[in-house]
C-alpha cells in the first residue's frame, strides 16, 4: 500500500524507466547528414548571378569504429541494473520507515492504554482515600494526595492519547491512507526466538550488490573509454552540377580525424582510476557491512533480553507489589505513601516494558534492512 503512493517509490521507478530509455538510445547508430551547397554565385563577370554556379548535394555517413556502440550498450545495461538496485534500495528504506512508524504507533497506543488503566487505578485510590477520611481513619491530606494523583493520571492519559493519534496519523501518511481498525498489539508483545538467523551472503545483500554494480558500471566506462580512442570516419558522396557547362559530376571523399592533441589516453586512465576506486569502495562496503551486521545482531540480542525481562519478571514483580500495597492500604496496614510509591513503580515498569519492546522491534527492523537480500526486491 505504501509503495503505490510513495513519491520515493515513484522516483525509483522513474529512474529505471530513464535507464531503459538510455539503453535504447545507446543502441542507436549515428544519423547521416545531408548537405546542399552552391558555389561561384553572386559574383562579378562570368560569376554574376547563377550562370557559373556549382551546386552539390552531399550525403555524409558517419562510421563508428573501435566497438563504440557495443561499449555504449554495455554501459547502459550496467546503469540499468544499477537503477533497478537503487529502486530496490528505496523500497527497502520505505519498508523500514513503515515498520518503524508502525512500532511507534503501536507503542503509543500501548502507552495510552496503560495511562487509561492508571486513571482507573487512581480513581479507585481516590475513592478509598475518601472513604478512609470520612471514617476518620485518615487525615484529609490523604484525600488531597489521591486527588492530585488522579489529576496527574488524567493529564498523562490525555497526553498519551494525543501522541497516539499523532503516531497513527504519521503512519497513515507513510502508507498513503488513514489507519483503520486496531493495531496488532500481539505482534508488538511477541519476541522472536533467540538463535541463529538464516540470511543471504554479504555479497547478495542490497548494500553490497549496489557497490558491486558500481564496479560493473566502472568496468563498462573503462571499455567505452578504450573504444573512444579509435577515431571515427566520415564517408561522403553526392552529385555536383556545373551550371556553366550544364554538366554533372560526382563528389566523394572521407574525413579522418587526426588525433594529435587528444588521443583519449587521459580519459581512459581516468576511467581506470574510477574503476579502481569503485572496487576499493566495494571491498570497504562489505567490511563495513560485516561489522554493522555483527553490531546489529548484538543490539537485537540485548534488546530482546531487556524486553523479555521488562515485560516478564520485572513487570510481574511490580504488579504483585502494587496488588499487595492496594490490599494493605484498604485494610489500614500500609500508608498512602507506600501505595503511591507502588503504583508509581508499576507505571514506570509498564512504560519501561513498552519502551523495551519498541527498542527491540526497531532494532530488528534496522537489522532486517541491513541484511535485506537483493533477490527480495529485484526480480529477474
Domain boundaries, the chain: 2-29+64-229+264-376
Query: For the chain (length 380 residues), average pLDDT per consecutive 10?
Result: 72 93 95 92 76 89 94 96 94 93 95 91 83 77 86 93 94 84 88 72 91 96 95 93 85 92 93 97 95 93 92 89 84 78 86 94 94 76
For position 2, what pLDDT does the model report? 55
Report how far residue 210's alpha carbon sits from residue 225's, in angstroms, rounded to the nearest whole number: 23
The correct CATH number of 2-29+64-229+264-376 out of 3.90.1170.50, 1.10.3720.10, 1.20.1600.10, 3.40.50.2300 is 1.20.1600.10
For position 194, what pLDDT does the model report? 62
**Strand arrangement, sheet containing 54-63:** 33-39, 54-63, 233-242, 247-255
Amino acid at each position: 500500500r505504501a509503495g503505490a503512493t510513495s513519491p520515493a517509490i515513484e522516483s525509483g521507478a522513474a529512474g529505471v524507466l530513464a535507464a531503459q530509455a538510455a539503453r535504447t538510445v545507446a543502441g542507436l547508430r549515428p544519423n547521416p547528414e545531408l548537405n546542399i551547397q552552391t558555389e561561384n554565385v553572386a559574383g562579378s563577370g562570368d560569376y554574376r548571378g547563377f550562370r557559373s554556379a556549382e551546386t552539390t548535394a552531399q550525403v555524409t555517413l558517419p562510421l563508428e569504429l573501435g566497438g563504440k556502440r557495443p561499449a555504449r550498450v554495455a554501459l547502459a545495461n550496467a546503469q540499468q541494473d544499477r537503477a533497478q538496485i537503487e529502486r530496490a534500495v528505496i523500497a527497502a528504506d520505505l519498508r523500514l520507515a513503515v515498520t518503524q512508524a508502525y512500532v511507534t504507533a503501536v507503542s503509543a497506543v500501548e502507552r495510552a492504554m496503560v495511562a487509561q488503566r492508571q486513571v482507573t487505578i487512581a480513581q479507585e485510590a481516590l475513592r478509598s482515600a475518601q472513604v478512609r477520611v470520612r471514617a476518620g481513619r485518615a487525615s484529609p491530606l490523604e484525600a488531597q494526595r489521591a486527588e492530585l494523583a488522579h489529576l496527574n493520571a488524567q493529564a498523562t492519559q490525555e497526553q498519551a492519547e494525543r501522541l497516539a493519534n499523532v503516531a497513527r496519523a504519521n503512519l497513515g501518511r507513510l502508507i498513503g491512507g488513514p489507519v483503520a481498525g486496531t493495531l496488532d498489539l500481539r505482534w508488538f508483545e511477541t519476541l522472536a526466538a533467540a538463535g541463529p538467523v538464516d540470511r543471504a551472503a554479504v555479497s547478495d545483500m542490497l548494500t553490497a550488490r549496489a557497490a558491486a554494480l558500481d564496479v560493473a558500471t566502472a568496468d563498462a566506462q573503462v571499455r567505452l573509454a578504450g573504444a573512444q580512442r579509435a577515431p571515427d570516419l566520415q564517408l561522403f558522396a553526392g552529385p555536383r552540377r556545373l551550371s556553366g557547362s550544364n554538366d554533372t559530376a560526382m563528389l566523394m571523399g572521407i574525413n579522418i580525424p587526426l588525433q594529435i592533441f587528444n588521443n583519449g589516453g587521459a580519459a581512459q586512465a581516468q576511467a581506470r582510476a574510477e574503476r579502481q576506486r569503485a572496487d576499493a569502495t566495494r571491498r570497504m562496503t562489505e567490511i563495513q557491512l560485516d561489522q554493522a551486521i555483527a553490531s546489529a545482531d548484538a543490539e537485537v540480542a540485548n534488546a530482546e533480553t531487556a524486553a523479555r525481562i521488562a515485560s516478564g519478571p520485572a513487570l510481574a514483580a511490580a504488579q504483585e507489589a502494587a496488588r499487595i500495597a492496594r490490599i494493605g492500604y484498604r485494610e489500614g496496614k500500609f500508608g498512602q505513601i507506600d501505595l503511591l510509591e507502588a503504583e508509581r513503580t508499576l507505571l514506570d515498569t509498564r512504560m519501561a516494558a513498552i519502551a523495551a519492546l519498541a527498542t527491540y522491534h526497531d532494532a530488528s527492523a534496522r537489522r532486517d534492512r541491513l541484511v535485506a537480500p537483493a533477490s527480495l526486491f529485484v526480480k529477474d
